[in-house]
Amino acid sequence: MLPETVSGNSDAEAIDQQFPQAIVDVKVEPDGPVLYIAPSEIVAVCRLLKQSCGFERLSAVTGVDWWPRAPRFEVVYFLHSLSRNARLRLVVRLGEHESIESVTSVWRGANWYEREVFDLFGITFRNHSNLERIMMPADWEGHPLRKDYPVHGHKYSYGDE
């Protein structure tokens, strides 16, 4: 059952009709509603939104680390519909050692964004064609955007040189 705050939202209703278990939580932020999706349903939900709700574009994918809170990570998907001139934000909450299915099968453009999240947060995307580091060197240790990673790095701080 959808919460009242998004009862008029056609996208949320479309998801709820097709996948009743997919929306686990809803928040209303200053720029619109945010749908929290169950990790197992994300690819199916994205495919539905692309095919029947007109979201041709994935604007970006990013992560947020809420350490030491649990579940630790959020993976955020910013969807954009050119034909409807609408935007939608999906969030998936993930525990520290959990992985998530890649959405590159839905939007090819997710490729680099997911690599970036993998590189900087250490979140693994299953079935990604080329899940390698993109910003940091290939032999880098640690994931810089995690909250327990020091701002000046573990290894290469100025004090060591």
Partner 1 sequence: MQVPEKMMEGKAHVASLDAEHELEVEDPSGVPPLERPTSRRMTLNMGPQHPSTHGVLRVLLELDGETILNARPEIGYLHTGIEKECEVKKYQQVIPLTDRVDYLANLNNNLCYSLAVEKLLALEIPPKAQWMRVMLCELTRLASHLIWLATHALDIGAMTVYFYCFREREEILKVFEMFSGQRMMTSYIRIGGLALEPPRGWHKAVSQLVERLARGIDEYEALLTNNPIWLNRTKGIGMLPVDLMIELGVTGPMLRAAGIQRDARKHFPHSSYDKFEFEIPTRTANDVYARFEVRMEEMRQSVRIVRQALEGMPEGPWRADAQHVLLPDREQMKTQMEALIYHFKLVTEGFRVPEGSVYQVTESPRGELAYYVVSDGTANPHRVFMRTPSFGNLQALGAMLEGVLIADSIAVMGSMDFVLGDVDR
- Contact residues for partner 1, defined by CB under 8 A: 29-31, 34, 54, 56-60, 62, 64-65, 76, 78, 82-83, 85, 87, 89, 107-109, 111-113, 120, 133-137, 144-145, 149, 151
- Tell me whether residue 34 or residue 44 sits nearer to partner 1 (CB atom): 34
Q: To the nearest whole angstrom, how small is the minimum distance from the Cβ of residue 135 to partner 1? A: 4
What 8-state DSSP symbol labels residue 81?
E
Q: To the nearest whole angstrom, how small is the minimum distance from the Cβ of residue 105 to partner 1? A: 12
- Tell me whether residue 10 or residue 40 sits nearer to partner 1 (CB atom): 10
- Tell me whether residue 14 or residue 64 sits nearer to partner 1 (CB atom): 64
- Does the N-terminal peptide bond of residue 150 adopt cis geometry, omega within 30 degrees of 0? no
Q: To the nearest whole angstrom, how small is the minimum distance from the Cβ of residue 130 to partner 1? A: 10
> Phi and psi of 5, rounded to 5°?
-60, -25
> Left (φ > 0), alpha (ψ -120 to 50) or beta: where does 38 sit?
beta
Q: To the nearest whole angstrom, how small is the minimum distance from the Cβ of residue 84 to partner 1? A: 9
- Tell me whether residue 41 or residue 104 sits nearer to partner 1 (CB atom): 104
CA 120, 122, 125, 126: dihedral to nearest 10 degrees? 150
Alpha helices in the chain, H assignment, sequence order = 10-18, 42-52, 110-121
